[in-house]
Amino acid sequence: MKEGQTKRLLEILPGLISWFIILFLFALLFINPLVLAVILIIYLIYWACKLFYMTLLLLIAHHRMSSSKNIEWFERCKLIKSDLNINDIIHIVLYPIYKEPKKLLEDSMNALKDTRYSKDRMILVLAGEERDKYSHGKLEEIKEEFKRYFKDILITIHPKDTEGEIPSKGANATYAAKKVKDYLELNGYDLKNVIISTFDADTCPDKNYFCCLTYHFLSNKKRYQTSFQPLPIYNNNIYRVPAFARVIEIGSTFCQLVESMRYEKFITFSSHSMSFKTLVDVDYWPVNLISDDSLIFWKCFLKFNGDYMTYPLEVPVYMDIAVGRNVFHTIAVQYKQKRRWAWGVENFAFIGINFINNKNIKLSVKIKRLFQLLDSHVNWATWAFIISFIMPFVLFWGKVTMKNALVFFNLSYINGTIFNIFTFIIILSIILSRQFLPPRPKDVSRLIYITFILQWLFVPIISAFLGSTPALDAQTRLMFGNYLSFYRTPKAR
Amino acid sequence: MKDENYLILRKIFFWIFFISFIVIVPILVFYSLGYKFDVKSKKISRTGTISLKSSPEDAKIFLNGIKLNNTTPDVLSGLVPQDYAIRLEKDDFYPYQLHAKLMPSSVSEFNITLIPKIKYIEKLEPDFNIYKFFISKHFYGNKVIAFTDQGIYYLDDDFKNDKKISAQSINKDVASNIEEVLEGDDKLIAWSKNGIWIIDNGNITLIYKPEELIKNVFFGLKERYLLIQDWLNIVALDVENPSTYYPILKLKDKDANIFYDSGSEILYIRDKITGTETYSLYRSKLRHLIHERGTDQKAP
């Protein structure tokens, strides 16, 4: 089979499996409801175990993060015994920018300049797009405003309509990183000592971010085979967005917290950091694919024949909750953002093809990694349909057609138990989410805290309609070769 | 805590939940399908479940007379398929009794509304499904005759001292159409437009099926005969020998009616004279009419 055909097959496979599961369960409702009830009971037990497991991971991750709060990372950096010295390290902070408002960029720059790390070891890269005609002027103004705080500020403008590229963050970041390489080489920096952090335009790093990152870079023996992933906390504009959007993004933060504890399958997501040398070695981010943030991990994974990992940093970065002009636009924005995240399913075909071509990675590792990726995307695309639509329909159908069948009665009972577990987890989430809240702006009433509790009532609706639909949409588009174009999430505060 | 320790902790949790899943799935699936392993007999048997809900909740549950520890709402699972007598009791509420016929791998769900004991309202003690009831007047007090799903009952008007007249039950639709119950010596006569039944020594027997529609029934000659107005025909049925009946009179108009004075044994008849629109009143000694009866006919 030709590589192109294999790639198409791998693109079709996740969507095919997801649709098969959903349609098979619906068909089974009419063919053999008893078998369906048994399958759903097993599925619910799986979910109960998974919910407990994920809740414990959430608590462990939360403990890991909160217990690291008082660590003096900078002191640790100075004391660490390493082949590298803290003074050798140069940080490149790359912000790919496209049409983000100046105010938002200024906030990010302010957060960056307020970090505890020495700014004379920090070079800021503002990567604009030629497609944004106001880009250059806006970036020049920001450079002028902030240049005194950093070692240097570089501005790059990614030319539009470059052959072989799609308009994406990855293409812009790659163009900028190549310019940075030239700059570093010109100024005699050793690329081995350079850490690059690529941040979304709204990313405000925690004060300790660069100290923590530097410490882990220095202390890690496989520093060139490691990406460093901060926890993205979506709270920059949390007091200004609709309640349901808050719930969705708190959910995203929690998911990332849980994932950070699954070391063996943890991969880069959104804003992250890595060795600049490694970035150059793997030929930068992909320029023709959407999910550049996760694909860079897989490129490194393949380059180092599977000996590459993502390390979860204890220190977070703060980002914006995607928000639109009004509630309905916010729903659309949230949907499109989640669909873009779910487009990460394109990684399956990418790594599938590359695994075939790479003979140095163990077969068991390849199978495990492919299965993990397939499992997470198929689960994402199906769970909400099964729990929110198929399950109630089956319970209703069972009541109508097989009123006295014990298995349907027990299915209903187990389903109720799962919801009780879910309620417990929501209460836990309310408590944990309080700790991620930034100080309340003065112009916002205290009464908003009531909505911070009531907002959790949206969870069943959000789960039903935004839980799986974006993922299934993304997989279906990929199945039919209807490739997604990069969606720039609107940022507003 | 070091990262290695977090990793170990995570792995421990993973294996705990993985093993839990592997262990729980077969147990819960078999349990959900109604299968139960009996440790004593070392056999797998099929069971059923009874789900009990009551309004208000927290009623005591008695299963086949044995009080259970739990109160409502409760799910009684792993029960051997058979008939169960269930009784719910709660202070200040009338007890409720029901019967459940439990099938294997099935569930019987009951959602019962308990009736509060209000000062001026009393509830019949046994929890029967009452199809129809009649009040029977006696010089020593009234009696209630109740047609129920459990049979026919006699009870005092204070709802005490219930006595089962018959274990047999008349079909619900038939019972609810009964017009009147006549009390004879040690027997009851129940009639509807479509039939007359005698309830004697616990047995219910259909003794008369009308040619058209029964309009009226009463005892005649000291409860010896049953006088039946079967549309335009007046027939007499010997209660001692109910297998035959005698036509004694034929009315002329469909709106004609009769009245029997048991004291004087006189039958009054209001009927039209043929060819006129006038209703006249007639009377006759019932004894004479019976003696001049028509040909005996077989009862159904």
Q: Is the pLDDT of residue B299 over 60?
A: no
ipTM: 0.83
Domain stops at, among A297, A326, A355: A326
Supply the pLDDT for residue B293. 64
Question: pLDDT tens digits, residue range B125-172?
Answer: 667 888 899 988 877 778 889 998 888 988 887 777 788 888 887 888
More confident residue, A108 or B246: A108
DSSP 3-state assignment of B30? helix
Supply the pLDDT for residue A468. 93
- CATH tag for B43-113 (out of 1.10.579.10, 3.50.50.60, 2.60.40.10, 1.10.1200.10): 2.60.40.10
Assigned CATH for B179-298: 2.40.128
More confident residue, B299 or B122: B122
Compare CB distances from B106 to A37, A46, A406 and report the shortest one's residue: A406
> Which residues, numbered 27 to 56 in chain B, qualify as contacts with chain A under a Cβ-Cβ cut-off of 8 Å?
28-29, 31-34, 48-49, 51
* Angle, helices A391-401/A3-31, rounded to nearest 10 degrees: 30
Supply the pLDDT for residue A418. 84
Same domain for A315 and A434, yes or no, is no
Decide: A301 and A308 in contact? Cβ < 8 Å.
yes
CATH number at residue A136: 3.90.550.10
Same domain for A204 and A243, yes or no, is yes
What residues of A are in contact with residue B51 (Cβ under 8 Å)?
409
Asked if the structure places residue A36 within a domain, the reply is yes
By DSSP bridging, strand B233-238 and strand B107-113 are unpaired
Same domain for A391 and A262, yes or no, is no
Asked if the structure places residue A339 within a domain, the reply is no
Same domain for A246 and A134, yes or no, is yes
Supply the pLDDT for residue A104. 92
Low-confidence ranges of chain A (pLDDT < 50): none
B105:A64 CB<8 A:
no
DSSP 3-state assignment of A300? helix
Supply the pLDDT for residue B298. 54
Asked if the structure places residue A337 within a domain, the reply is no
Same domain for A224 and A372, yes or no, is no
A406:B6 CB<8 A:
no
Question: What does the alpha-carbon distance between residue B150 and residue A3 come to, in Å, rounded to a whole number?
Answer: 78
Instruction: Give B268's pLDDT tier (boundaries 50, 70, 90).
Output: very high
Annotated domain spans of chain B = 3-32, 43-113, 179-298
Asked if the structure places residue A412 within a domain, the reply is yes
Same domain for A393 and A288, yes or no, is no
Q: What mean pLDDT is predicted for residues B215-224? A: 88
Same domain for A12 and A137, yes or no, is no
Same domain for A186 and A47, yes or no, is no
Supply the pLDDT for residue A492. 64
What residues of B are in contact with residue A64 (Cβ under 8 Å)?
1, 6
Supply the pLDDT for residue A471. 96
DSSP 3-state assignment of A316? strand
Question: pLDDT tens digits, residue range A74-112?
Answer: 999 988 888 888 989 999 999 999 989 999 999 999 999
Question: What does the alpha-carbon distance between residue A437 and residue A430 come to, in Å, rounded to a whole number?
Answer: 11
Domain extent, residue A50, equals 3-64+366-479
Supply the pLDDT for residue B120. 64
For an interface test with A, the pick among B2, B13, B51, B105 (most A C-beta atoms closer than 10 Å) comes out as B13
Distance from CA of B109 to the nearest CA of A (A): 8
Q: What mean pLDDT is predicted for residues B40-68? A: 91
Domain stops at, among A274, A296, A326: A326
Instruction: Give B238's pLDDT tier (boundaries 50, 70, 90).
Output: confident
Instruction: Give B229's pLDDT tier (boundaries 50, 70, 90).
Output: very high
- C-beta pairs of B140-143 under 8 Å, 24+ apart in sequence: none
Asked if the structure places residue A180 within a domain, the reply is yes
What residues of A are in contact with residue B75 (Cβ under 8 Å)?
413
Asked if the structure places residue A75 within a domain, the reply is no
* Contacting residues for B136 by C-beta, under 8 A, at least 6 apart: B142, B143, B144, B145, B181, B183
Same domain for A195 and A290, yes or no, is yes
Same domain for A43 and A180, yes or no, is no
Which token pair is A348?
């399956």
Compare CB distances from B48 to A38, A406, A411 and report the shortest one's residue: A406
Compare CB distances from B6 to A38, A64, A407 and report the shortest one's residue: A64
B73 prior amide bond cis, ω within 30: yes
- Mean pLDDT for chain B? 87
Backbone angles phi, psi at B76, to 5 degrees: -95, 100
First to last CA, chain A: 51
Give A18-78 as a DSSP string.
HHHHHHHHHHHHHH-HHHHHHHHHHHHHHHHHHHHHHHHHHHHHHHHHHTTTT--HHHHHH
Number of domains in chain A: 2
Domain stops at, among A268, A298, A326: A326
Same domain for A259 and A402, yes or no, is no
pTM, entire model: 0.72
Same domain for A246 and A160, yes or no, is yes
Q: Is the pLDDT of residue B300 over 50?
A: no
Instruction: Give B48's pLDDT tier (boundaries 50, 70, 90).
Output: very high
